[in-house]
């Protein structure tokens, strides 16, 4: 059922089908530029075209600021930050070529997904100046320089550092607040990623001290007129709901924050996967799905 394409269905009971355009503003990671993704970027673009996407945002991961922040798989592949920087340069050359090449069939937004390790603000600003992306996705994968979403082991290592999951969540949302303020990313990536390996996340997100920080961050997103990523990666992994979880999605709707699907694809198979389902959910919550916002850089 998960992969059923509602969008291309013929059921007249779903009026959204006639108006909502398929879109993803976070994803398109490819094996060409990312060590933990697969396939060629051009093949991924062609998949979006095949699925009927008229617009798509491609947001490759930024290169690490130094060898200290290489992923274990990059170390294993004997890559250095210099190698990945070079790949990232190639990415921006290629995405701009593809943008031009496919302009009559799909509007491609050339973006990048950021980080929050030590030195990130200067690093990201330098990359923006150098590559002039159309927009950025602001994500938090590191807290206290530990990449918590890489594995359950790293996640628990981080929580041990703080002493509890509760404190780890609080640190995460504080760092996210700082990141949003400093980078003003057009898309705020997978807002509640910190729940990735926590079975009891629903209760934890509802704890007053954590919820307060969530509301504070949502208010900042709203005041800066930013957009939240409705991140579909968990569905591809067989989990029940995307980031953001239902309770936060509901609050975002009440606060009139814009939310846009992001498949967070890391290969052809995942490109566009579950976007139809995401649109259906957003529609059910009363979000605007007939007109998606066009990405931009906030100076």
- State the residues that interact with Zn ion by CB under 5 A: 29, 139
Count of residues making up the chain: 299
Tokens 């269905």 -> residue: 9
Comparing CB distances to Zn ion, the nearer of 239 and 256 is 239
Rounded least distance, CB 39 to Zn ion, Å = 13
Comparing CB distances to Zn ion, the nearer of 94 and 139 is 139
Long-range contacts of residues 1-4, Cβ cutoff 8 Å, at least 24 apart: 2/235, 2/274, 2/277, 3/273, 3/274, 4/276, 4/277
Rounded least distance, CB 180 to Zn ion, Å = 15
Comparing CB distances to Zn ion, the nearer of 94 and 270 is 270
Comparing CB distances to Zn ion, the nearer of 7 and 116 is 116
Rounded least distance, CB 230 to Zn ion, Å = 13
CA distances from 109 to 32, 58, 219 (A): 18, 6, 26
221: Cβ contacts below 8 Å, ≥ 6 apart: 180, 188, 228, 257
Rounded least distance, CB 85 to Zn ion, Å = 17
Comparing CB distances to Zn ion, the nearer of 270 and 289 is 270
In b/e form, how buried is each residue of 127-155, taking b as 16+ CB within 10 angstroms?
Answer: bbeebebbbbbbbbbbbeebbbbbeeebb
Cα–Cα distance, 214 to 222 (Å, whole number)? 12
Rounded least distance, CB 64 to Zn ion, Å = 13
Rounded least distance, CB 71 to Zn ion, Å = 9
**Residue in the shown chain whose Cβ atom is closest to Zn ion:** 139
Tokens 């609080």 -> residue: 170
Comparing CB distances to Zn ion, the nearer of 29 and 277 is 29
């Amino acid at each position: 059922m998960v992969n059923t394409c509602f969008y291309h269905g013929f059921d007249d009971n779903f009026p959204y089908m006639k108006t909502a355009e398929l879109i993803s503003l976070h994803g398109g990671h490819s094996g060409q530029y990312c060590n933990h993704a697969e396939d060629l970027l051009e093949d991924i673009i062609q998949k979006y075209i095949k699925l009927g996407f008229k617009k798509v945002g491609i947001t490759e991961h930024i290169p690490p600021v130094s060898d200290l922040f290489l992923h274990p798989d990059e170390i294993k592949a004997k890559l250095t930050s210099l190698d990945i920087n070079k790949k990232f340069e190639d990415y921006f050359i290629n995405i701009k070529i593809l943008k031009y090449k496919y302009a009559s069939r799909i509007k491609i937004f050339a973006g990048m997904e950021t980080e929050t390790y030590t030195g990130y603000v200067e690093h990201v600003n330098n990359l923006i100046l150098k590559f002039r992306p159309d927009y950025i996705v602001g994500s938090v994968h590191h807290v206290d320089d530990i990449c918590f979403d890489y594995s359950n082991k790293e996640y628990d290592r981080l929580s041990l550092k703080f002493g509890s999951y509760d404190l780890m969540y609080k640190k995460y949302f504080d760092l996210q607040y700082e990141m949003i303020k400093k980078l003003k990313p057009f898309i705020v990536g997978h807002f509640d990623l910190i729940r990735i390996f926590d079975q009891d996340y629903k209760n934890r997100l509802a704890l007053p001290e954590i919820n307060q920080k969530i509301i504070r961050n949502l208010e900042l997103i709203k005041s800066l007129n930013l957009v939240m990523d409705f991140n579909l990666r968990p569905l591809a992994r067989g989990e029940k709901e995307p980031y953001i979880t239902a309770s936060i999605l509901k609050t975002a709707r009440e606060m009139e924050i814009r939310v846009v699907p992001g498949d967070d694809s890391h290969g052809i198979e995942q490109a566009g996967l579950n976007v139809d389902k995401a649109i259906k959910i957003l529609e059910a919550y009363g979000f605007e799905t007939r007109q998606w916002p066009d990405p931009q850089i906030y100076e």
